[in-house]
Amino acid sequence: MTTKQFKAESKRLLDLMVNSIYTHKEIFLRELISNSSDAIDKIYYKALTDDSLSFEKDNYFIKIDIDKENRTLKVTDSGIGMTKDDLDENLGVIAKSGSFAFKKENEIKDGHDIIGQFGVGFYSAFMVADKVTVISKALGSDEAYKWESDGIEGYTIEPCDKDSVGTEIILKLKENTEDENYDEYLEEYRIKAIVKKYSDFVRYPIKMDVSERKLKEGSEEEYEDYLEEKVLNSMVPIWKKNKRVLTTEDYENFYSEKHYGFDKPIKYIHTSADGAVSYNAILYIPEKTPYDFYTKEYKKGLELYSNGVMIMEKCEDLLPDYFSFVKGIVDSEDLSLNISREILQHDRQLKLIAKNIKTKIKNELGKLIKNDREKYEEFYKSFGRQLKYGIYSDFGSNKDDLQDLLMFYSSKEKKMVTLDEYISRMPEEQKHIYYAAGDSIDRIEKSPQTELVLDKGYEILYFTEDVDEFAIKMLMNYKEKEFRSVSSGDLGIEENEKEATESNEENKELFTKMKDILGEKIKVVKASKRLKKHPVCLSNEGELSIEMEKILSAMPDNPNMKAEKVLEINTNHDVYVSLKDAMENDKDKLELYTNLLYNQALLIEGLPIADPVEFTNNICKIMK
């Protein structure tokens, strides 16, 4: 007999699991059943490619046995079984995927997270049992082994007898405590209900000996009890059921059964098609961003079934990248079972399904904006960034699918608004859709560049995410209205246009001198069209904005692209008078003022100043 210790992190997790405040202890049964179902699936897949194996569906089952006297619950399956090594490897370590290390321990607040994310399914048995015995015989092996553990320190493995291939899992249930009733898992009605709730659509029969009562033979009033083996699950997959018989809870159970996420989906979409291609699908839009969503580890995809049989766990081709957060399953009769990944990619039917699904998701999200704004905003917080990437990538070819789903914070409404809503509020004379980019709403609100546009009573969209301005540059316009940054050279507001042009003529000498002082740091000095109260600001000419420059220079492979900066002077400000005075009377003073103003503009913009010491010295100089 081999006795082994659990790995340290497994112990920690087991401890969390066993003592977790997790309230749905009943899900242990779902986890065991789905392991059994997977084990049968494995034989099925093997048979597909191995001619010496045949798969007679009728020979495969899952069976639950209740033994009240011994307080045990047994789950038996005729699946692929486990060898000695399998038992050791599969049941000895929790979360060997390493994803556990990814999450800091204090982030794991309750057992739900753990079960959802790491698939420590089997271990959930220890929530209700203080001893678990696994007896298994692997396909193709003559030996059977028994694995046993109390779930605390370690486990033992020893040879044992077992006739048929498959696995038996025996749970010795815990004694009842004050707040916890474990006896209930010895009640037929309870087991029936749990199976129905979580495992109804498992493809193999889940059997149990159920007590029935019948009239004693020859008697007209005396009854006798007897046991009859019954199948507890309907075996019809949820996606093949009629929507009308399903409840939100059914969909939510399926979501967690499948480990799609540990949140509750914000929306489920149950859809089917019969036409050029026929399929059933259940799609989910999660509420929360999975912890690895914005990492390389995250893989998009939907489960793909061919007439009730899974052919691929994650079919990427069914989802565009910008909808990579969608989870779910697609079942189509039109796909062949043994189709290879390579062929599948080019499959015409699959492409058609993918296209339908994309449209469906888009439409449903659109409906959510109208019908349940709060939920949509919740969704947008989690995945809005992904939609914007979608606009930006593939050379903007997805614009039409995505632009109506965008939202930005509005200066006017003080909340998130859609582009359509923005347009509908535009006064007739307003030519463009104005936006301002910056680190935060607070910061943008205070930025001098917004002054004129706000003064005109126009609404500004605030771009606070890196991707925003890049996405909008790709979009260029929305419903024929062009996007315009509040710091762009041309705001399209005419009266100020004229005033500024005159002012530039008038101050040609001053602005040329200032430009000479600043040299290459800026492209030109101009009279501002947009400043009201502030003396100075930076704007840009050309496509690359100052915000974009900041983002690019923070990237690991800094492409070193610079915005063409314009130093704008407010000619209605007192500072302007001082500048003019300095130009006429004191060359050094003009240099001092110019540098000061330039550095101020950098600071407001959130850009670093090249020489902070010199800057502060200069301030002291004028204070003297």
Q: Which residues bind ligand ADP (CB under 6 A)?
A: 31, 35-36, 39, 77, 79-82, 90-91, 119-123, 167
Give the pair of three-digit tokens for residue 611: 């020489």
Cβ-based nearer residue to ligand ADP, 82 or 335: 82
Cβ-based nearer residue to ligand ADP, 165 or 454: 165
Give the pair of three-digit tokens for residue 621: 């100089």
Shortest Å, Cβ 28 to ligand ADP = 10
- Do residues 346 and 340 lie in contact, with contact meaning Cβ atoms separated by under 8 Å? no
Shortest Å, Cβ 281 to ligand ADP = 24
Burial class of residue 164 in the structure, from the number of CB atoms within 10 Å of its CB (0-12 exposed, 13-18 middle, 19+ buried): exposed
Cβ-based nearer residue to ligand ADP, 144 or 281: 144
SS3 512: helix
Shortest Å, Cβ 562 to ligand ADP = 51
Shortest Å, Cβ 70 to ligand ADP = 21
Query: What is the SS3 string spanning 551-601?
Result: HHHCCCCCCCCCCEEEEEECCCCHHHHHHHHHHHHCHHHHHHHHHHHHHHH
Cβ-based nearer residue to ligand ADP, 191 or 566: 191
Q: Strand 416-418: give its sheet, edge to edge.
A: 416-418, 407-410, 460-463, 433-437, 481-485, 477-478
- Sole residue written with tokens 């004028």: 622
Beta strands in 138-222 (DSSP E): 144-149, 154-160, 166-173, 206-215
Q: What are phi and psi of 527, to 5 degrees?
A: -75, 135
DSSP state, 12?
H
For residue 559, CA distances in Å to 439, 539, 554, 556, 602 come to: 21, 21, 10, 9, 21
Amino acid at 161: D
Cβ-based nearer residue to ligand ADP, 79 or 535: 79
Using alpha carbons only, give the angle 583, 586, 590 rounded to the nearest 5 degrees.
55
Shortest Å, Cβ 165 to ligand ADP = 10
Cβ-based nearer residue to ligand ADP, 86 or 209: 86
d(CA 416, CA 602): 29
Q: What are phi and psi of 549, to 5 degrees?
A: -60, -45
Shortest Å, Cβ 89 to ligand ADP = 8
- Do residues 158 and 146 lie in contact, with contact meaning Cβ atoms separated by under 8 Å? yes
Cβ-based nearer residue to ligand ADP, 36 or 545: 36
d(CA 552, CA 212): 73
Burial class of residue 264 in the structure, from the number of CB atoms within 10 Å of its CB (0-12 exposed, 13-18 middle, 19+ buried): middle
Shortest Å, Cβ 265 to ligand ADP = 20
Shortest Å, Cβ 43 to ligand ADP = 10
Shortest Å, Cβ 82 to ligand ADP = 5
Shortest Å, Cβ 311 to ligand ADP = 19
- DSSP H helix total and E strand total for the chain: 21, 23
Q: By Cβ distance, which residue is nearest to ligand ADP?
A: 119
Shortest Å, Cβ 85 to ligand ADP = 11
- Sole residue written with tokens 């104005």: 434
C-alpha atoms less than 13 angstroms from C-alpha of 563 in its C-beta half-sphere = 24
Shortest Å, Cβ 33 to ligand ADP = 9
Cβ-based nearer residue to ligand ADP, 123 or 262: 123
Cβ-based nearer residue to ligand ADP, 31 or 459: 31
Burial class of residue 477 in the structure, from the number of CB atoms within 10 Å of its CB (0-12 exposed, 13-18 middle, 19+ buried): middle
User: With the CA atoms of 114, 115, 120 and 122 taken in that order, what torsion angle do they form, in degrees rounded to the nearest 10?
Assistant: 140
